[in-house]
Amino acid sequence: YTLLETSGGKITGNGNSGNISGTRVGNTITVTTQTSFGSFGPYTWQLNGKTITGTFSVWCVSNTGNTLLAQGDATLTMTRP
């Protein structure tokens, strides 16, 4: 995923599994994800310097990608360059 922050603290992002949208207030980022299987979240992440930590939705799909087999949350840690 690539996350971008626009003016006013609006967060957007996209990747091969869906789109992210949300906001940043201070060091708290709140986002939801929109996928072909529906919307997940909201999730709250904390920004500490160059590192974001929190949880994020993960899922397992069929080989064809048409069926959601399982969904859950995983710990997220991202560090920007």
Q: For 56-67, what is each residue's pLDDT tens digit?
A: 877 787 888 778
pLDDT band per the 50, 70, 90 thresholds, residue 48: very high
Distance CA 38, CA 79 (A): 27
Helix, strand or coil, per DSSP, at residue 8: helix
Residue 25 scores a pLDDT above 80: yes
Q: What is the pTM of this model?
A: 0.73
Distances (CA, A) of 81 to 44, 50, 72: 21, 7, 28
H-state helical runs in the chain: none
